Each structure stands twice: as structure tokens, then as C-alpha cells.
Structure 1
Amino acid sequence: MDENLTVGFIGVGLMGWGMAKNAVEKGLSTLVIAHRKREAVDDLVTRGAIEVSTVQEMESKADFIVLCVTGSPQVEENLDKIMETMRPNLVVIDTSTAEPASTRKLAEKFTEKGGTFVDAPLSRTPSHAWDGELTTFVSGSDEIVEKVRPVLSTYASVIIPVGGEVGTAHSIKLVNNLVAIGYASLWSECYATLNKLGVEPDTFREVVRNSGMICGNFETFSKYVCDGDPNSHKFSLVNCQKDITYYTRMADSLTADRSISSGVLGLLDKSVEMGMDEKYLPQLVDSMLKINGDK
């Protein structure tokens, strides 16, 4: 690892904390900034990271800045701050789940100021981030992928170049999240219907485990309904709602039919309306149980 590289992390929450931990432990000079909670920053400083007080201070010291924030509004806000004083040749890697149209506009503005903006969203869970075993997919040329690889490889064990223009990886990420959240919605309805039938969740899990439908998504989801573990997939329902909203906007811009995603978004909207916004994805089954009058 090139210890001369300095990387800053904006957004050290569920995913970003583990990502920054791996960057500092694998030899990168690592800058962090506090937002709402200090726990992650305090931990990272004990591991060797350096805390900065402003985004502009981070920009003045970093070769790369990794964004891992909630969505496009937060990406836009932070990039505006970076561009106030940015130096040429700065590379920003946006790992957030963001809207491709916004990503393309931001990249154009950033490039005009002499920087490089790369979308490299993530797949897998916070536990994989902690272990340095995330999957990331990256837009752009081979040259750009190799430029950011030293940073990405600290927290991702799988790096998938997807080519295309800036925003391509963010587009694929939205489709990927439709798969993950769509499956969770399907499992939620299945388990809620089985509850009506009086069938134990463990019985259905055993059926699926011994069929062609078994997958990691099902196993992770079922840890809550069968074993009572809500932390098996720490992906808040309000963030799921945001991601599927982004997907529907993208699909609409392409005039693509979205019959399935509309149903998924409808369930998420109801869940948030019921006050479950900060519950995790496996707890989506509770929404279906409440809708059915069984909880």
C-alpha cells in the first residue's frame, strides 16, 4: 500500500466506519470528520486516523475523498463545499446510493475545476465493510479504475469495472437494490401469509433451504423472522424507500415499465407511514403483519 496517499472519509456511519477502519489499518493516511455522532470518529482516531474540523480542511490535505452519505442531496451539499476551495487533481469517490442524473451533473462541474469524480457504489452489509469484504462497482475507463483501486481495495475484496460514463455504476446500484429490497418484500409477504395459515416460519425456511430458491438474501432476511435477529441486515426502511424512489425516477426517465417496483415502493411507503422508518430491512415482515391485522 502506498503510505504517501492521503484519503479522507465523509460519512463514517454504518458502512463508512468500517471502510475508514480498513483504510487506516492498511496503511493509508486517513482523514475523518464528525457529523452527528462521535463514536466512529473517536474509534478511528484511536486506530491512527486524523480528525479534521471542516470539509475544506479535508480537501486541502487529501489526494482522495470518499463520500459515503445518505443520498444525492448530501452528496451535492458536500461536493459544493469541496469545490469552494478545491485543488486540481483531487479525486472524489462517491460510494453513496445516489441518483445517476445528479451524479452526471456533479461530475461535469467537478471536471471543469480540474478534479475527477468517480461513482463506485457498494454492495453487501456493514459487517462486510468492517471486514474489508465489500463489493464495489466502478464507472469509467480502465485508467480511472486503476487510479482509484488503491483506495477501493482497502475496503472492497471485489472490484467490478462496469465501464460507461459517470453515473453508470450508480444506475446499476439502483437495479441491484431493487433486487435486494424486492426479495425482502417478497419474503415479507410470504411469511405474513404463512402466519395466516398457521405455519411456523422455521418450516418455510427449511422448505426454501432445500429448494432451488435458497440464497443469501433469504438467509439474512429469515434470521429475524425465525431467530429474532433484527440486525442481520442493517439497512433502514427509510433508506430502502429512498433507493426505490430513485429507481422509479430513473425507470420513468427511460420510459421503462415498473409494475414490480411500484408494489415494493408502496409497501415501503406504508412502513414509513407506520413509523418504521428506522427499522431494518428484515423487519419489513412486521409491516405486512400489521397491514394484515396480525401484529
Structure 2
Amino acid sequence: MTQKILIVGIGVMGAPMAKNIINAGFDVAVCDESSDALVDFHDIATLVSTSPSKAASNRNVIITVLPNSDIVENVLFGEEGALASAAPNSLVVDMSTGSYDKTMKIAKKIEKLGHKFVDAPVGRTPREALTGQLLVMVGGEEQQVKELNGIFKAVGNTIIHVGETGCGLKAKLVNNYMAMINNVVTGETLSLANSVGLDVGLMADLMSTTAAGLGQLNTNYPKKVLSGDLKPDFPIFMAIKDLTMAIELAEGHDAAPKFGKLARQTFEGAKERGMGSLDQTAIMKYLMSDDGKNSQ
């Protein structure tokens, strides 16, 4: 089947993605509510329109790259919705980062109309979007994912089929959850360094050589808890001791160690349940337990 693609959402990420798909030789129509966003596509796209319904006429692959799930739903099913004119048995690919619950409802509505759905949100930045080096996290049936492989390769250099429908979005949200928490923890830690009179740039360089900056997934977790080894390289009771001293240092210099206190509380919960002598990475096991999930 010849893929006749429509890309809806020609923004910071969608525009370079669309250009890369066009440059890969695909037949591509583009749509955005802003005519200004479409200026660069008049000479390179098969069709350019501000109307999803008009742009989707006889298209069999509908790709959405939009800010949220409500907009995706409106673009697909609204008064000028793309699925009103798309080809029968089309494949809808949502590459947005949206609500999981709303995305699954959208997927069911699409399937009831006789179409297929794949979620494939992307990771990395507009810079990687320009160079076709995005991370594509895909959820959907194997055959449908295979059909889309050429499109995914046009926009990304890392394509991971995470699992069934919805798993691509789950992976994106879990990844961003960790990334945003790490962002705040990094800010809090460098703020602490500043509060106690240390050079922030020097400390950033120093910590980039340790687990603090390299991250647990690049250092301790693979060789310890993820490999089933909880013998202590650095036990939980020592983590509590070091955190306590760091918190005392922070409070003595009018810093606000919010995440430090939360981390200590979590480690203390694990210790209270007999895990104090296990490796620090055993905290993952504690957090997977009912006690860990219910801890405040």
C-alpha cells in the first residue's frame, strides 16, 4: 500500500519532522491552524491546508504532532475533523505528548470507525528534530509498527517499540517524570552549593564525574538492584547518615533541602521495614512494595 501521509501540527517539532519525512521521499500533506506555519511547505508538500478535513482527503496515514490530547481529538473528530475524509482503514499515529486516559479513549474511537491507531511520542529537542535524530517511543501492534518504520526512521535515529497501544506514551511520560524531577533536584543541589559558599560551576564539573551527575541508571542500578544484587556497596543506613549531615549543612546556611528531606524520609521508611543494611538501590524494591507506595 502506498502511504499517503497527512501531518497535522506544523510547530517547533512538527515542522522539521514533516520536512524530514518529505525529504525521505514520502507523499506528504500538511495541516496547521496557522497559515503562517505552512509557508515553507507550499513548494514541497503535496497539499497544504488549515482544514484537517480537506487535508486528510484520501490520506491513509494521519500523523498528529499537537500540544495536547484535546486538540488531537478535535483535529480527528471535530466539525472539520480529519477522519471525516481520510481513506478507509487509515492508520492514525499520534506523536504528541498527551494524557494517557484521553489517548486511550481516542484510540478506541478510531478503532470503532474502522481505522488503526499507534502512539509514537518523540523525545529530545528541536535541534534533534531538525537533524532527524529524535527518540521515537512506539506503542501498537507489531505489523502496524513495521508499516511505519520508514516514517519513523525519517525523523529519528532511535526507534523503540515499547509494547502495545499506549505503551509509547507511557514510556514518554515516565521518562519525562524522571527528567523533570532530576531537573528540580539538580537545581536544588546547585542552590545548596551556592548557599554554602561553593563555586557552582566547579561543583557542576565535580558532580558530573560521580553518580550524582552521571545518574543512577548509568552507575549503580544496572549492577545492583536491576541485576538482583542487593549486597551493600553503600547501604541505606549510610545514605540516611549522609543525607542527615547534608540537610544540617543546608539548614545552617538558610538553604531549603526539600527533596533531601523527602529522600531521607523514604530511606527511613525502608530502614523501618528491615532494609537498612541493603544496598541503597534497594529503595526501588521498597517503593514497589505496598509500604513504599503508601508512605507519605
Moved more, 130-139 or 52-61: 52-61
Cα RMSD between the aligned structures?
2.4
Tell me, yes or no, if the aligned pair for 1:20 and 1:44 is still in contact at 8 Å. no
How big is each residue's C-alpha offset from its partner over 1:138-196, in whole Å with a ceiling of 9 and x where there is no partner?
112211110211221110111111222x2122122111110111111111112222232
2:100 corresponding residue in structure 1: 100
| Cα distance in 2 for residues equivalent to 1:96 and 1:31 | 18
Match of 1:60, SS state, is coil
> Paired residue for 1:266?
none
Which of residues 40, 60, 74 is equivalent to 1:63?
60
Residue 26 of structure 2 corresponds to 28
After the TM superposition, which residues 181-260 of structure 1 pair with which residues of structure 2 at under 5 Å, given as runs? Answer: 181-215=180-214, 257=293
Q: How does 1:39-58 map to 2 (within 5 A)?
A: 40-48=37-45, 50-58=47-55
Distance change (3 Å), C-alpha of 1:58 and 1:258: farther
- Give me the whole-angstrom Cα distance separating, in 2, the residues matched to 1:259 and 1:146: 43
CA contact (8 A) 2:58 2:85 kept: no
Q: 5+ residue gaps in structure 2?
A: 216-291
- Assess, with a 3 A threshold, how the Cα gap between structure 1 residues 66 and 29 changes in structure 2: closer, same or farther: same
Superimposed CA distance per residue, residues 62-100 of structure 1 (whole angstroms, 9 cap, x where no aligned partner)? 221111111111111112112334431111110111222
Separation of aligned partners in 2, 1:186 and 1:259:
20
List aligned pairs for 1:160-179, cutoff 5 A: 160-164=160-164, 166-179=165-178
Closer/same/farther in 2, CA of residues 44 and 204 from structure 1, 3 Å limit: farther
Q: CA deviation at 1:23?
A: 0.6
Higher relative contact order (CA 8 A, sep 6+): 1
Give, in angstroms, the shift of residue 47 of structure 1: 4.3
Distance 2:196 2:73 in 1: 48
> Partner of 1:117 in structure 2?
117
Q: Which runs of 5+ in 1 are unaligned?
A: 217-255, 261-295
Q: CA offsets, 1:193-234, max 9 Å, x none?
A: 223223332111211222234449xxxxxxxxxxxxxxxxxx
3-state secondary structure, aligned to 2:210: coil
Q: Would you say the 8 A contact 1:135–1:157 is kept in 2?
A: yes
Q: Which amino acid aligns with 2:4?
A: T
Count, aligned residues: 217
**Aligned residue for 1:180?**
179
**Aligned residues of 1:34 and 1:53 also touching (Cα < 8 A):** yes
Say if 1:183 and 1:49 are closer, same or farther in 2 by CA, change over 3 A: farther
- The answer as to whether partners of 1:99 and 1:171 remain within 8 angstroms in 2 is no
Name the CA distance, whole Å, in 2 between partners of 1:85 and 1:62. Answer: 8
1:127 aligns to what? 127
Aligned partner of 2:229 in structure 1 is none
Identity %: 27
Q: Structure 2 CA distance, aligned partners of 1:124 and 1:49?
A: 28
Please tell me whether the aligned partners of residues 24 and 49 of structure 1 are also in contact (alpha carbons under 8 angstroms): no
| Aligned counterparts, 1:118-157, within 5 A | 118-157=118-157
Measured after TM superposition, the shift of residue 6 of structure 1 is 2.2
| Structure 1 position 50, deviation (Å) | 3.3
Matched residue SS, 1:104: helix
CA distance in structure 2 between the aligned counterparts of 1:50 and 1:87, rounded to whole angstroms: 15
Q: Distance in 1 between matches of 2:210 and 2:46?
A: 47
Contact 2:68–2:96 at 8 Å: present in 1 too?
Answer: yes
**TM-score by structure 2 length?**
0.67
